[in-house]
């Protein structure tokens, strides 16, 4: 993969953003093993005969092409592109939207980035529907925020985040996920004498 892809200060450093999520995942446990990898299956069947896929961020398609990743199909979606994968991929090639799922780095009115549950993942992802019971890993949530900050440094990235945040706001008029507390993993308070390293992994609720 060419380093020149990341040397342009006007471009989003996808190699770095992808690497943020090499080991960071929503839960310490493999949530895909518990839910059957729903985000890599149903989404792509087109449940209502409409093509659905993962939204690529600005310039991500060019980054992927330059990296020689040719798997998947691209579909135009308004100003953006959808990536359709057929439900399987090489892990190191998965798009950014798959890595941050089911969160999104929302651009707030004051310019700050907040990692929020993406209400568009409500139907697919049990982590969104069970957000009150299944906390997410703090390093994962922080990485989503960090990725959002990097993206917001470019005009195209800021514009994209603003548009997506507006769409999320529209969904939240019904789902009201924006009223929920930040999706951060909370350590279980261990009673005296119990193993103090015990914590909620999320698996307890999903199985």
By the criterion CB under 6 A, which residues form the site for ligand SF4?
26, 31-32, 35, 37-40, 54, 85, 87-89, 94-95, 98, 101-102, 124-127
Measured distance CA(187)–CA(197) in Å, rounded: 9
Burial of 74 (0-12, 13-18, 19+ CB in 10 A): middle
Q: Residue 200 and residue 207: Cα distance in Å, rounded?
A: 13
The smaller minimum CB distance to ligand SF4, of residues 15 and 35, is found at 35
Please spell the DSSP secondary structure of 119-145, one letter per residue.
GGGTTT-HHHHTTTT-PPPHHHHHHHH
Q: Which is nearer to ligand SF4, 97 or 107 (CB)?
A: 97
Nearest distance in Å: CB 89, ligand SF4: 3
CB of 40 to ligand SF4, least distance (A): 3
Min dist. Cβ of residue 16 to ligand SF4 (A): 19
Query: Which CB, 130 or 190, lies closer to ligand SF4?
Result: 130
Within the chain, strands assigned E span 54-56, 73-77, 80-84, 103-107, 113-117
Report in angstroms the alpha-carbon separations of 25 from 53, 66, 82, 88, 191. Answer: 20, 26, 22, 18, 28
As measured in angstroms, the least distance from the Cβ of 4 to ligand SF4 is 25
Q: Nearer Cβ to ligand SF4, position 137 or 154? A: 137
Nearer to ligand SF4, 1 or 158 (CB): 1
Query: Which residues are CB-neighbours of 66 under 8 A, at least 6 positions away?
Result: 1, 2, 5
| Rounded least distance, CB 61 to ligand SF4, Å | 13
């Amino acid at each position: 993969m060419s380093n020149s892809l990341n040397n342009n200060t006007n471009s989003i450093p996808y190699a770095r953003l992808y690497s943020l999520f090499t080991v960071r995942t929503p839960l310490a446990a493999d949530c895909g093993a518990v839910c059957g990898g729903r985000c890599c299956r149903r989404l792509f069947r087109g449940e209502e005969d409409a093509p659905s896929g993962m939204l690529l961020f600005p310039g991500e398609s060019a980054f992927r092409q330059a990296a020689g990743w040719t798997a998947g199909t691209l579909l135009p979606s308004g100003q953006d592109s959808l990536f359709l994968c057929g439900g399987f991929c090489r892990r190191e090639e998965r798009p950014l939207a798959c890595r941050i799922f089911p969160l999104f780095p929302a651009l707030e009115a004051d310019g700050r980035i907040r990692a929020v549950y993406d209400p568009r993942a409500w139907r697919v992802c049990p982590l969104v529907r069970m957000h009150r019971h299944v906390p997410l890993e703090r390093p994962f949530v922080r990485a989503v925020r960090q990725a959002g900050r990097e993206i917001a440094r470019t005009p195209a990235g800021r514009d994209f985040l603003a548009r997506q945040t507006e769409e999320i706001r529209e969904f939240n008029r019904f789902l009201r996920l924006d009223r929920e507390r930040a999706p951060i993993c909370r350590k279980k308070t261990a009673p005296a004498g119990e193993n103090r390293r015990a914590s909620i992994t999320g698996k307890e609720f999903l199985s």
